[in-house]
Amino acid sequence: MGEAVNDLRTLKYVAEIVRRLAKMLSRTRYQMLVYFLELTAVEADSLAAEQDRDRHDENKAPRN
């Protein structure tokens, strides 16, 4: 369980850092790199949300 929480935090952290880097680079001529970084941030957020949703679903699952 602890690893899942760390993975979730790591994904959110990666998304935050990548967005900051993309924002800094957006003022330069590296637009394709900015686009790639933004896609990476969106994917990291999506994976974090999916893991969070799965974790909540596990807690709500009926126990026999």
Calculate helix-pair angle for 2-25, 31-60, nearest 10 degrees: 160
DSSP string, 3-64: HHHHHHHHHHHHHHHHHHHHHHHTTSS-HHHHHHHHHHHHHHHHHHHHHHHHHHHHHHS---
Residues of the chain below pLDDT 50: 1
Q: What angle do CA 4, 9, 11 make, to 5 degrees?
A: 95
Residue 1: predicted pLDDT? 47
Residue 43: predicted pLDDT? 92
Q: How many CB atoms lie within 10 A of CB 63?
A: 3
Residue 53: predicted pLDDT? 86
